[in-house]
Structure 1
Amino acid sequence: MNRLVVVLGVIWCLGTALARAQVAPDCSNAVPICNNTPVNGGTNGYGSDDFKGAGKSGCLEKTLSGAIESNAAWYRFRTGASGQLGFNIGFDSSEDWDFALYKASDCNSLGDPIRCNFFDNRDANSFIGVGVDPQGATDNVQYEDWLEVLPGEDYYLLVNNFSNINSGFSIQFTGQIFVTNPYDALDCAIINNLLGPPIAACNNENIVLDATTADVVSYTWYKDIGNGYAVIPGEVSATLNVLEAAFYRVEVITQSQNNIISDVQVGFSQAPTTSPVNDEHLCLDSGYFYLSDKDQMALGSQSSNEVIISYHSSLADAQAGINALPLEYALQAGEQQIYIRATSVQNPRCYDASENFKLTVHEPLIANFPLEVFLCEGELSALIGETVPDPEYNYLWNTGQSTSSITVTQGGEYSLTITDKLGVSACDNTFMINVYASKTPHIEEVIIDDLQDSNTVTIVPDREGDFEYRLDEGAYQPDNKFYNVLPGRHSVTLNDLNGCGTATETIVVVGFPKFFTPNGDGANDVWNIVGISSLEEPILTVYNRYGKLLKQLSQNSMGWDGNYNGVALPSDDYWFKLSFKDQDGQRIVAKYINNHFSLKR
């Protein structure tokens, strides 16, 4: 909900007598409020018990007085338009005030209040009411929901001081209804007065009282500043220019003898001024800017108890007192003009919106260079930092160098600070660059599970690192394990993702039975391997556990029958080696083959 313009308020104090003229302790003579009526005063007792001994009225309960009321002030008003309506009751934050609002046209049938607050003021708030706290406090439990009103509705408002210690209060009406109907939101017909309702003016306003009436013989003007009415010499026209706060009276003598005597109270409040506020440069990564940090500078010598500071995105909003920005203002990149409104607490009609400041939000620089650099084995140096410098920025390394990039010869942590040459960026654009001395990768082992139906190959690097793996000419993958590898000759490759080279090994995946039973039954009588048809001149040699050569098989051999020189060998474990010629014609022994099998009889 946007905070809306404060339209009506308690504006001044002309002394105890005048202040109390605006306070009625009993509902039966409640002070009428219309569109521009000032409401102020200090309560002192509650007169007659308007609740006739009742112990509760809505949220209100009996107070220390023994009645619901302690120090009561009653007001009544009638709506003149439809819309959203609220009010703020302002007081000293050390005091405890309550309120109840009744929708009724008769004090004898108030019913239950439609808005009511009986919380104590342990949070030391300066306002209670309906709508939103004008100081921007979102956690003020002494505020009730907005009213949605229609024209012609009558209300009674009880303002009660619970603590018996009070220095007065003010009431300011608020809400969208005063934006759409600034002159008739509250019906002034309840106040029958030639000079109209009391006037809450600012000290920089020109106030003219107008008693123009037909059939007039003469006008006589009077003024009362606390000692009774006295004639104002020389003022005999239908209008009167008012220069000071007082009660004013006009006596109108008519030819028809329907003479009129009309009184009006005029008060002046000091219009606030806004002191200049300096511009702000912030970094987007701060997230928020607390606008209230500017309050004291904007207030100058004024007190925050007398002047409310609010912030707006446009001058029009600041002048109207609407759409106040949240005090915890979310930052957005770029420049924003923030307009300041200083509003009198005593009379919200008195304001100043002459000052503003520029809020410039800078985006943190994004590193266009790697923050991790690897100095590979065999490399003497590496270039780090920004290789394409921006002429609008200065560069400084923790090594003392002021170039955008530097050459390093050893691993370590390096910091680069980039600053705007204009000196306005609020961002900490310091980048940490880690240089790692890295070795060329090697394959420590290749684990081959020759299961014939589903062969797997696992590449084991010689150290931890950022690697990817490839089988033959296939695509690289992050997983070091390959499944369903066909029997035969393959190449496996280990690649360092940091650019420090690759390692490749040639492997042979073969399939062979883990045991055989040469007993002449025609099943598993010979042992051989499969998957060597792609090898050049493969030779398979079989050994016993002591390394004695028992059999040599070529690609076309039928296999080993478990005999040596015609003698059947006993049940035991046996081993084999596989060799073949590489592309250069050199005979090599296949590595990583799990070359163990069993003979069973």
Structure 2
Amino acid sequence: MHPKSFYFCLLVLCIGSTELSAQLGFCGGNSGDPIFTEDFGSGTIDGPALPAGTTTYNFTTGTPNDGSYTISSTTNYFDWLSIQDHTPGDTNGKSFIVNASFTAGEFYQREVTSLCENTSYEFSSWLINLQAAGGCEGNSIPVNVRFQIWDETNTTLLAQGDTGSIVANSSTEWQQYALVFKTEPGQTSVILKMRNNSNGGCGNDLAIDDIVFKSCGDNVTVSTNTNEQRLVVCEDQGGVSRTIIATPDFSIFNTHAYQWQQSTNQQIWTDITGENNNTLSTPAVTATTYFRVKTAEDPINVNNDLCNVVSDVFDIIVLPIPAAPTSSGDVTVCEGEIGILSVSTQNTYTVNWYDADTGGNLILANNQNLETTSAGMYYAETNSTEIECASTTRTPVTLTVNPLPEVPDDTFAFLCEDSFITLDAEVENVTYLWNTGETTRLIDVSAPGEYSVVVTNINGCSDSQSFIVEQIDLPRIESITSDGPSIIVSTSNEGNFQYSLDGNMYQNSPVFEAVEGGFYTIYVQDNANCGVVTQDFFHLVIPKFFTPNGDRVNDLFTPDGLEVFSTISFSIFDRYGKLLKFGNSNSSSWDGFFQGNQMPSDDYWFVIEADTTQFKGHFSLKR
């Protein structure tokens, strides 16, 4: 196990056990490659049975009862947890499944050979309690296993440790346990034993997997005298080298022998001839190379992979000069649009944008896409995300910005009622699309509203123009009245109207003053020349008052305009309805007398019958 994993695994061990022997523990330094591994194979058929002498338990290919075991890819027995084996990547992987005997005692023993004498090793194994929480009506016997390492004579106990009670908790997580031991001088094998500390019965059911033996030595770090633990350089820096130092922590070994190695893939390692000290001046490196050192307590063991440990790895990573990025193509946009220039490169690289093919100014860093509205040529350069290691060339990408068609400003137009107007886009050599669906430069419209046209030039660039069309309604004469000598025209709608009595001379006021009585045609038009409306009107001038005082000024009440009628009757009444005067065409005035008497100042009423038309009103007599 890697030394940095020690504290994590120790924490896991403590969680999984309520009682931990002081001798259980992992290698506190560097480990070698696995020397012995038992993962119990894979497949859907139970077995094979362990070699003779490995266990006193009975082998079964079915459900293991107390004092029995099986080698199987399933744990789906009784009410046990159903779990997979521990071995990573296994398909139908098997584990050693044990139903403890009623009597505590040893259930597994095997010899591990080909070790080195007087050398420290780490034994480890993964274990799990198969009983679910609540099993055995809450009285499940906990798992408690003792691991032992004996010398090859089976007389000297080198190390042992107990898992402590592992209670049923329905966890499907395997737990790892380990022992560190040292072989005896002159001995190259040990005996591994496992013992149940608890009696069997309801509970004490377990599975074991991935038994591993590794050499165990000091934690050996490798770094430069400036504490660099790796080096990343660019290919264009040429051959680089470093003096690296191996530093053991003396946690296991008292003395140290070294053999430096190098590799290009961390799979195949080659000894560097003559490099047997704790320092190494690396050769000039032009391609990625890894360095480590094998360490043993005795020089005779340093090249025996069963006895040595390997240090941390010192990397000299040589980054190849990246190729220039690949352009996604030049981009053309219309004025006002954002152009997105894009290039692609490997995921391990980044892209920087410049305004020149060499040197120049950095425009945007760490992005494969550049967004801009400014036309021109831009240059993309590939670079490493770790250090400055750029492509030797830059990829040009051009942004072309085409102008929009020049359209007039938005236009206000006026439409005469019951008419039409022609709207003109006023742009040549373009295509047109009106919001009415029409596609010509000119369109006729006969309804007020907002009209718009999109014009598109030969570059595919478009702009739009709006037309606000307002309708001018014809005047609608509501009434024409006489007010003394004045004619007053009223319309039912509003507008910039003009008024005329002859159709030639127009005035802005709807009141014609000092008009003689008679028949008239009234003309009303809007000043936008949208048309004229007319209405005939008889203007009868009724004086509002008269003053019969003999000064020959306004002495008579005489309506003006009656002469155009053939027959006339003329009646004057006081406020009580008394007839004071009756006349005809020859006598259509009143002097203010009744039966020779002057009538007093007061309001009086008239009724005039002119042909088929009747006029009524009142006036004042003032003295």
Q: Which has the higher contact order (CA 8 A, sep 6+)?
A: 1
Please give the TM-score of this superposition, normalised by the length of structure 1.
0.34
Higher-Rg structure is 2
TM-score by length of 2: 0.34
